[in-house]
């Protein structure tokens, strides 16, 4: 069906996809902007096509240019990575139109998952717990006030077309809801092209736990266990691990089944993630479906032994899933630290520039996914993720000790990175004890940085 894949992305994830293709004997085509000529993905692919320009809109988001490149190079498939065009329904549809396989879910699934309210309704209909609130789109303040009166304050206003923390507002009381509603509505309309809002009871500092799912063309859906993603700042994850210290086998099984149920109810194909919130009493609630490969997929790979990117490709070639979570005998513990070119002492201000000194970590239990090297210049135009440092050990304590040891070895200069922040997190007693939630990182940040 295809033997050449165009990788419609840049950086570490493009490198990740190219590596999987090479091992499968599939040829690769990289696309690269004028700023990315020396980026590792452009150097590792079998062929490459320059997308003229620098800004994402001109390059990695330029659908006609990417489809033209795939056609010209004879690539029968496109892998979108994450971000950029990964959850763009029109792009998935344009690939289909052009007779190119989009390695990911179908356009219809991307659309449904992109509508957060519709996804929530679907999950509720599948019998999966959702947070109490409005189960329809709100058009007027009066409706919002009525729902909030029923659930009680605080409530959270969410944009149906938002997601991932975008377009959300917390309202502590009626006065705040009256104030925020019109602003949120106008913002949702201009930012997402859809003013639809919904309201939910606000959970204070939940844990964020997500389940990796895979679906094949026969309709078989499996899960690959959970990822603990509560260590985040302003909805940007910093560190993820699998399994979660908050789950036992019974809760894992319940959440895994719930995730599969949600995926099955929308005929989910390929790799996806079902996000949940877990409250202090270990009640879980469906939050969102992410119709893409996620940044943090490696922690799941390390404990299950499954190469998720190869599975995506296999599934898109029409092959089936002949295993499940339990048959894999998941092993040990994995933790991922996102090393961003940002200065944690300056409110995570991006820190582009040339990497003069680069000494990467290695050794038993260390995996480093990156597109950078000594002498590489971090361009100012894109996401600041430089590398993902993944540590894998037989148990959580060992995995964390490997991660800390590897962070100690890791030198990147003079570009500022999140390495020092990760060291502080790993040295923290609550973190080591598994006792943390989405409010955790705040204590490492200057007060002005709190939201
Ligand atoms: C919430 C919530 C509390 N209550 N909804 C943030 C990202 C988006 N996917 C949903 N988010 C939240 N929704 C209710 N009803 C708290 C969050 C939230 C959060 C969720 C996941 C990961 C980190 C977070 C950090 C702060 C708030």
pLDDT digits (tens, 9 = 90+) for 65-101: 999 999 999 999 999 999 999 999 999 999 999 999 9
Task: Check residue 448 and give its pLDDT.
Answer: 64
Residues 248 and 307 in one domain: yes
Last residue of a domain, one of 103, 119, 148: 103
Sign for the pseudo-dihedral over CA of 266, 270, 276, 282 = positive
pTM reported for the whole predicted model:
0.97
What separation in Å is there between the alpha carbon of 182 and the centre of ligand 1? 21
| Residue nearest atom 12 in ligand 1 by C-alpha distance | 165
Q: Is 274 close to ligand 1, i.e. is its CB under 6 Å away?
A: no
Q: Is there a domain that residue 126 lies in? A: no
CB distance 200 to ligand 1 below 6 Å: yes
Q: Look up the domain containing 97 and give its range.
A: 4-103
Q: What's residue 139's pLDDT?
A: 87
Reported as a pLDDT band with limits 50, 70 and 90, residue 182 is: very high
For residue 202 and ligand 1, the question of a CB distance below 6 A is answered with yes
- From 130, 165, 198, 279, mutation site for ligand 1 pocket: most ligand atoms within 8 A of C-beta: 165
pLDDT digits (tens, 9 = 90+) for 428-443: 999 999 999 999 999 9
Indicate whether 293 and 417 sit together in one domain.
yes
CATH number of residue 74's parent domain = 3.40.50.20
pLDDT of residue 306: 98
Domain assignment present for residue 351? The answer is yes
Per-residue confidence at 450, pLDDT binned at 50, 70, 90? low
| Maximum C-alpha span of the chain | 61
Distance 93 CA to ligand 1 centre (A): 30
* Mean pLDDT, all residues of the chain: 96
Q: List the CATH number of the domain containing 247.
A: 3.30.470.20
Kindly give the pairing relationship between strand 4-7 and strand 27-33: parallel
Residue 273 beta carbon below 6 angstroms from any ligand 1 atom: no
Q: Residue 235 Cα, ligand 1 centroid: separation in angstroms?
A: 8
User: Same structural domain for residues 28 and 46?
Assistant: yes
324 and 423 in a single domain? The answer is yes
CB of 156 shorter than 6 A to ligand 1: yes
Name the E strands within 248-356. 270-278, 284-290, 333-340, 342-343, 349-350, 353-354
Q: How far apart (Å, rounded) are the C-alpha atoms in residues 197 and 140?
A: 9
**288 Cβ inside 6 Å of ligand 1:** yes
Is 382 part of any domain? yes
| Whether residue 16 has pLDDT greater than 70 | yes
Same domain membership, residue 245 and residue 363: yes
For the chain, what percent of residues have pLDDT higher than 90? 96
Probe ligand 1: pick from 133, 154, 168, max atoms within 8 Å of CB? 168
Closest C-alpha residue for ligand 1 atom 22: 208
Q: Which of 153, 277, 442, 450 to mutate to test the pocket of ligand 1 (most atoms within 8 A of CB)?
A: 277
DSSP state of 437: -
**Cα 86 to middle of ligand 1, angstroms:** 22
Q: pLDDT of 375-402, one tens digit each?
A: 999 999 999 999 999 999 999 999 999 9
Domain boundary among 201, 229, 257: 201
CB 449 within 8 A of CB 395: no
Query: Measured in angstroms, how far is the CA atom of residue 402 from the centroid of ligand 1?
Result: 30
206 in contact with ligand 1, CB cutoff 6 A: yes
User: Does residue 127 form part of some domain?
Assistant: no
Q: Do both 233 and 325 map to the same domain?
A: yes
Ligand 1 mean position to 165 CA, how many Å?
6
Q: Is residue 134 within 6 Å of ligand 1 at its C-beta?
A: no
Determine which residue's CA is closest to atom 7 belonging to ligand 1: 165
Within a domain: 295: yes
CA 377 to chain centre: 25
User: 450 or 20: whose pLDDT is higher?
Assistant: 20
Asked if pLDDT for residue 246 goes beyond 60, the answer is yes
CATH of the domain at 193: 3.30.1490.20
Q: Do 170 and 277 lie in a common domain?
A: no
Residues 309 and 174 reside in one and the same domain:
no
Handedness of CA 238, 242, 247, 251 (dihedral sign): positive
Position 24 pLDDT exceeds 60 = yes
* Closest residue to atom 9 of ligand 1, CA basis: 164
Average pLDDT over residues 357-371: 98
Query: Domain count of the chain?
Result: 3
Instruction: Based on the fold, state whether residues 294 and 427 are members of the same structural domain.
Output: yes
User: ∠395-396-399 over CA atoms, to 5°?
Assistant: 85
* pLDDT (mean) for 155-167: 89
Quick one: pLDDT at residue 333? 98
Quick one: 439 and 297 in the same domain? yes
Cβ of 120 less than 6 Å from ligand 1:
no
Helices (H), 272-413: 297-304, 308-316, 396-409
Neighbours of 451 (CB within 10 A): 9
Residue at 62 is within a domain: yes
Q: Are 113 and 290 in contact (CB under 8 A)?
A: yes
Last residue of some domain: 84, 103, 122? 103
Q: Quick one: average pLDDT of 55-59?
A: 98
Nearest CA to ligand 1 atom 20: 208
pLDDT tens-place string over residues 302-328: 999 999 999 999 999 999 999 999 999
On whether residue 112 sits in a domain, the answer given is no
Residues catalogued as catalytic: 292
State yes or no: pLDDT of 451 exceeds 60. Answer: no
Asked whether residue 339 falls in the same domain as residue 440, the answer is yes
Does ligand 1 come within 6 angstroms of the Cβ of 165? yes
What's the pLDDT band for 449 if we cut at 50, 70, 90? low
- β-strands 385-393, 366-370 pairing: antiparallel
Q: In the chain, count H helices and then E strands.
A: 14, 22
Number of the ligand 1 atom closest to the C-alpha atom of 288: 9
Note whether 219 and 365 are same-domain residues.
Answer: yes
Of ligand 1's atoms, which has the minimum distance to the CA of residue 131? 15
Does a structural domain hold residue 113? Answer: no
């Amino acid at each position: 069906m295809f033997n050449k894949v165009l990788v419609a992305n840049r950086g570490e994830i493009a490198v990740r996809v190219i590596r999987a293709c090479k091992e499968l004997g599939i040829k690769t085509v990289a696309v690269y902007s004028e700023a990315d000529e020396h980026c590792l993905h452009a150097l590792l692919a079998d062929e490459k096509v320059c997308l003229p320009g620098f800004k994402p809109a001109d390059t990695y988001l330029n659908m006609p240019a990417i489809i033209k490149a795939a056609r010209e190079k004879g690539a029968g498939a496109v892998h979108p990575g994450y971000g950029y065009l990964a959850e763009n329904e029109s792009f998935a549809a344009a690939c289909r139109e052009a007779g190119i396989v989009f390695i990911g879910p179908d356009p219809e699934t991307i659309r449904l998952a992109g509508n957060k309210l519709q996804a929530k309704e679907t999950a509720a209909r599948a019998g999966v717990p959702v947070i109490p609130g409005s189960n329809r789109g709100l058009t007027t303040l009066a409706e919002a006030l009525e729902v909030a009166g029923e659930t009680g304050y605080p409530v959270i206003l969410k944009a149906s077309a938002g997601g991932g923390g975008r377009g959300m507002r917390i309202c502590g009381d009626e006065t705040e809801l009256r104030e925020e509603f019109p602003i949120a509505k106008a913002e949702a309309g201009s930012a997402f092209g859809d003013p639809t809002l919904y309201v939910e009871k606000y959970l204070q500092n939940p844990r964020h736990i997500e389940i990796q799912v895979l679906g094949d063309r026969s309709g078989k859906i499996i899960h690959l266990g959970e990822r603990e993603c509560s260590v985040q700042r302003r909805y940007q994850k910093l560190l993820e691990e699998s399994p979660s210290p908050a789950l036992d086998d019974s809760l894992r099984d319940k959440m895994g089944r719930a995730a599969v149920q949600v995926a099955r109810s929308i005929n989910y194909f390929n790799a996806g993630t079902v996000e949940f919130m877990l409250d202090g009493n270990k009640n879980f609630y469906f939050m969102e479906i992410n119709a893409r490969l996620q940044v943090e997929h490696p922690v799941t790979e390390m404990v299950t032994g499954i190469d998720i990117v190869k599975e995506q490709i296999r599934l898109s070639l029409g092959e089936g899933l002949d295993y499940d979570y339990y048959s894999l005998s998941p092993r040990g513990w994995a933790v991922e630290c996102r090393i961003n070119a940002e200065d944690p002492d300056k409110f995570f201000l991006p820190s582009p520039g040339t990497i003069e000194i680069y000494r990467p970590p290695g050794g038993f239990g260390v995996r480093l996914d990156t597109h950078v090297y000594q002498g590489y210049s971090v361009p100012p135009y894109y996401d600041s993720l430089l590398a993902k440092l993944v540590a894998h050990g037989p148990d959580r304590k060992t995995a964390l000790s490997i991660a800390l040891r590897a962070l100690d070895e890791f030198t990147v200069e003079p570009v500022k990175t999140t390495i020092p922040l990760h060291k502080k997190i790993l040295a923290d007693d609550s973190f080591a004890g598994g006792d943390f939630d989405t409010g955790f990182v705040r204590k490492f940040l200057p007060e002005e940085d709190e939201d």
